Amino acid sequence: MSRPKIAIIGAGQVGGTIALMAAQKELGDIALFDVVEGLPQGKALDIMEARPIMGSDVILIGTNDYRDLAGASVVIVTAGLPRRPGMSRDDLLAENLAIIKEVAGNVREHSPRSFVIVISNPLDVMVHAMKKITGFPRERVVGMAGVLDSARFRLFVAMELGVSVREVSAIVLGGHGDTMVPLPRLCTVGGVPLSQLLGQDRIEAIVRRTRLAGGEIVDLLKTGSAFYSPAAASIEMAESYLRDKKRILPCAAYLEGEYGISGYFMGVPVVIGSGGVEKVIEIELTAEEEQAFRRSFEHVKALVDALDI
Ligand code: TXD
């Protein structure tokens, strides 16, 4: 039986880690693309040489040729500059937009049937540009942010309570920036609402840390942004698609009337299966949550409306 093919655009910190994790899980054969010569080839060969130890039989190639995207079921886009200390995700807009335009044109040409997961920042704008340029239906273009932001929230709750991360279920909505909307009201720990386990002040501190979690890592690393957890988050999305798991995952999805929004991407829970984004799940929000969600949307909308594509 032939294996599905996964194309990863950008063989930097996030892209290289995705390749490793996908190989460990044997999700499919992998084509790792970058504009830098030798970088994707070196990382692909390095992971190939780890295969006998990992017991993984998937094939990895590194390439600088977009034609190697042909036949990819999933394309994961990590091309673009990361943040450095003092920068917001929005500061990356001009440089990364030029990159995403080039990448999107090649995805349209070389893997027109693929399911595309965009990771590059500023995420909500980059995923919008990807959809617009490829012309793909909304089922096949999605942005990775919510899975990561929710994972951060879940980790902080698990650490605070001293319980397994598996017990903590949580969701973060909205744009992938400091305006993101964690929903502690819907967080449960082993089925118990978080509000019954933690005081309001502790919950607020966790919400605050979640919002700023990306920057906390940038300040520590100094030369770039997080990559292990973003890679793990995108693998969860790709796996749900490739194995038709129909996981409910918070992702940047193109809304067509849901949440009162049309024609923009926003972070909302979606079902991901072999049909791609199979369903957008609408949550009833409180007035306060609704207000935070709208504020986050206005931020995304202003950036997208100013786009020249
Ligand atoms: O939650 C999220 N969505 C994110 C987003 C979490 C973490 C990182 N996030 C963003 O992903 C980050 O702000 C960046 O915009 C991307 C990639 O982050 P990474 O840390 O992997 O950056 P690197 O290590 O600099 O790698 C980027 C690679 C690098 O090898 C470049 O040579 C390559 O992108 N690059 C290109 N590849 C293909 N095509 C073009 N045009 C291109 N230009 C640069």
**pLDDT digits 0-9 by tens, 87-124:** 999 899 999 999 999 999 999 999 999 999 999 999 99
Q: Which atom of ligand 1 is nearest to the CA of 226?
A: 7
SS3 125: helix
Residue 147 has pLDDT above 90, yes or no: yes
Distance 10 CA to ligand 1 centre (A): 6
Confidence of residue 2 (pLDDT cuts 50, 70, 90): confident
Residues near ligand 1 (Cβ within 6 A):
9-15, 34-36, 39, 78-83, 92, 96, 99, 102-103, 119-121, 123, 144-145, 148, 176, 224-227, 230
In what helix (H) or strand (E) does residue 1 lie, and over which residues does it extend? Answer: none
Q: Which atom of ligand 1 is nearest to the CA of 16?
A: 21
- Mean of the pLDDT values across residues 255-282? 98
**What is the value of pTM for the model shown?**
0.98
In what helix (H) or strand (E) does residue 151 lie, and over which residues does it extend? Answer: helix 146-161
Amino acid symbol at 126 = M
Separation of alpha carbons 146 and 48, rounded Å: 31
**Which residues form the catalytic set?**
176
| Residue 199 CB partners (closer than 8 Å, separation 6+) | none
- Mean of the pLDDT values across residues 75-97? 94
* Residue of 41, 68, 78 best suited for mutating to test ligand 1, as the one with most atoms within 8 Å of CB: 78
The closest alpha carbon to 136, from 119, 116, 165, 166, belongs to: 116
**Greatest CA separation for the chain:** 55
- Mean of the pLDDT values across residues 154-163? 98
Confidence of residue 178 (pLDDT cuts 50, 70, 90): confident
Residue 1 has pLDDT above 80, yes or no: no
* Residue of 9, 13, 14 best suited for mutating to test ligand 1, as the one with most atoms within 8 Å of CB: 14
The closest alpha carbon to 120, from 25, 252, 208, 273, belongs to: 252
Residues linked to residue 31 through DSSP beta bridges, in sequence order = 7, 61
Write the residue with the smallest CA distance to atom 14 of ligand 1: 82
| Residue 85 CB partners (closer than 8 Å, separation 6+) | 218, 219, 222
Percent of the chain with pLDDT over 70: 100
All structural domains of the chain, each given as residue ranges with its CATH number in brackets, are: 5-143 (3.40.50.720), 146-305 (3.90.110.10)
